[in-house]
Amino acid sequence: MITRFTLPNGLRVVHYHDRRTAMAAVDVMYDVGARDESRELTGVAHLFEHLMFGGSVNEPRFDVAIERAGGVNNAWTGSDFTNFFELLPAQNIETALRAESDRMLALSFDPHVLQVQRSVVVEEFKQTVLNRPYGRVMHHLRSMLYHPSHPYSWPVIGLEPEHIMRVTDDDARRWFYAHYAPNNAVLAVAGNVEPGRLRELVEKWFGDIPRREIPPRVMPSTVWAAPGDVRRDVTDRVPSPLVMLAWPMAAFGQPGYTEADIITDLLGAGRAARLRRNVSGRRPELVADADASIMGSEHEGMLMIDARLVADSPANVDTACTLLLDEALALTDPANIAPHELERALRRFEARDAAAFMSPMALAQRLAAAEMHGEDLQAELDRRRAVGVEDIARTARGIFIDSPRATLVVHPEAQQ
């Protein structure tokens, strides 16, 4: 059973009571992410995720408190939201609620913590971007599709490590008090906690946290970098060539979003998907692997198709681009879409949806996201069940024919 309530300070609470488990998951999602940064100082949202583990006014060691209660915890930052979650025995849920409430109230703002976490995030930047094969791909793709003034034109990790090192104590304080507030958050709990008991604990630990003034989010009116197709060839330390095609797509909840997600399922999900069947399956001497995905966002998103090539040459790259584009364009004609393909994609989604109810942590995160969007868990499943082949073809035409395309080719560096 799902219950909801809102505290006077604006904190939205959603709860799923599950007697079948001895565990409980706590999830706190804040309506803040990289979209709230400026181009002159990027990576702040992700850095602040790290700072939230550096101690608060009454809880100097967040991880230790959760571990002593038999739990685990983690967090993630996206372009749109920042999310913190814990899984622990249900009988110890008060520990997680107390710790989460304390860092929502106020951090310690220890200058040493900021110094340490800046270095940690810079090292992460090096590991995931500078020193990882294909680590710069999203930097390139975002800058090719999005206008420089748009916050999606840079990845969550930031544009460059120097931005992270420039974040000051004052910057950290401003970010916290502008975004980390009960009226800018959703608290989701899933597990074996009675609704009455949960409400009592939430009111006890979160009820006295004051509301804060959240600055209005102003997104730029210019979204896309160029009206036409663009191509960029880069050289990097990668084991094999990579070809990526990317197009604009609808924002979450807008017409075409669900269809775009299904399109990438048809193209890339599972061994029977079109790219694996018709591209890497039929041309293994050319394409080692091919896939499709979306960057789903609260604002305009990105649909991507990629292929990793066996060998680098202009002819191979051109042929791979043609093969990928052909598979995309085939979906613009409803006659080319078999109903059983849509059925298979729907069944895969239904299986993932059902699996979420077996994991308190996965369910708590889904509850938080649904509450943030102002909908219930059934909404996305209902949207998918309503999609037909004509809807797929119409969305595919809008993306693959009517929208600009970014083509990124990553070539391996020449061997010394």
| 230 burial via Cβ count (<10 Å: 0-12, 13-18, 19+) | middle
CA distance 353 to 365: 12
Three-state DSSP state, 166:
coil
Average pLDDT for residues 111-128, to the nearest whole number?
A: 95
Sorted by sequence, the CB contacts under 8 Å of residue 377 that are 6+ apart come out as 2, 353, 366, 367, 370
The pLDDT-based confidence of 354 (bands split at 50, 70, 90) is confident
Name the E strands within 178-276.
185-191, 230-236, 242-249
Question: Helices (DSSP H) in 230-305: which residue ranges?
Answer: 257-268, 274-275
What residues are paired with 230 via a beta bridge? Answer: 406
The pLDDT-based confidence of 226 (bands split at 50, 70, 90) is confident
Instruction: Indicate the range of 22-26, 119-123, 351-355 predicted with least confidence.
Output: 351-355
Q: Does residue 25 carry a pLDDT above 80? A: yes
Residue showing tokens 């790259």: 317
Angle at 356 between CA 18 and CA 264, to 5 degrees: 160
pLDDT tens digits, 242-283: 999 999 999 999 999 999 999 999 999 888 899 999 999 899
Intrachain domains 2-206 and 230-412 with the same fold: yes
Average pLDDT for residues 228-246, to the nearest whole number?
A: 95
Angle at 88 between CA 87 and CA 90, to 5 degrees: 120
Choose the CATH number for 230-412 among 3.30.830.10, 2.60.120.560, 3.90.1300.10, 1.10.10.10. 3.30.830.10
Residues 232, 407 contacting (CB under 8 angstroms): yes
Residues 24, 360 contacting (CB under 8 angstroms): yes
Backbone angles phi, psi at 260, to 5 degrees: -65, -40
Helix, strand, coil shares of the chain, percent, nearest 5, are 45, 20, 35
Q: What residue ranges do the domains of the chain occupy?
A: 2-206, 230-412
The pLDDT, as a whole number, for residue 323 is 96
Sorted by sequence, the CB contacts under 8 Å of residue 208 that are 6+ apart come out as none
CA distance 247 to 241: 20
Tell me which fold the domain 2-206 belongs to.
Answer: Cytochrome Bc1 Complex; Chain A, domain 1 (3.30.830)
Average pLDDT for residues 391-415, to the nearest whole number?
A: 94
Q: Does residue 399 carry a pLDDT above 90? A: yes
The pLDDT, as a whole number, for residue 378 is 86
Backbone angles phi, psi at 140, to 5 degrees: -65, -50
pLDDT tens digits, 304-339: 999 999 999 999 999 999 999 999 999 999 999 999
The pLDDT, as a whole number, for residue 416 is 52
Residue % of the chain over a pLDDT of 70? 100
Burial track 176-207 (b if 16+ CB lie within 10 A, e otherwise): beebbbbbbbbbbbbbbbeeeebbebbeebbe
**Is beta strand 242-249 parallel, antiparallel or unpaired with respect to 230-236?**
unpaired
pLDDT tens digits, 134-185: 999 999 999 999 999 999 999 999 999 999 999 999 999 999 999 999 999 9
Residue showing tokens 């969007």: 373
Angle at 259 between CA 254 and CA 261, to 5 degrees: 95
The pLDDT-based confidence of 29 (bands split at 50, 70, 90) is very high
Tokens of 41: 């100082």
Q: What is the overall mean pLDDT for the chain?
A: 94
The total of other beta-carbon atoms located within 10 Å of residue 246's CB is 27
The pLDDT, as a whole number, for residue 415 is 63
What is the SS3 assignment for 13-71?
EEEEECCCCCEEEEEEEECCCHHHCECCECCHHHHHHHHCCCCECCCCCHHHHHHHCCC
DSSP designation for 92: G
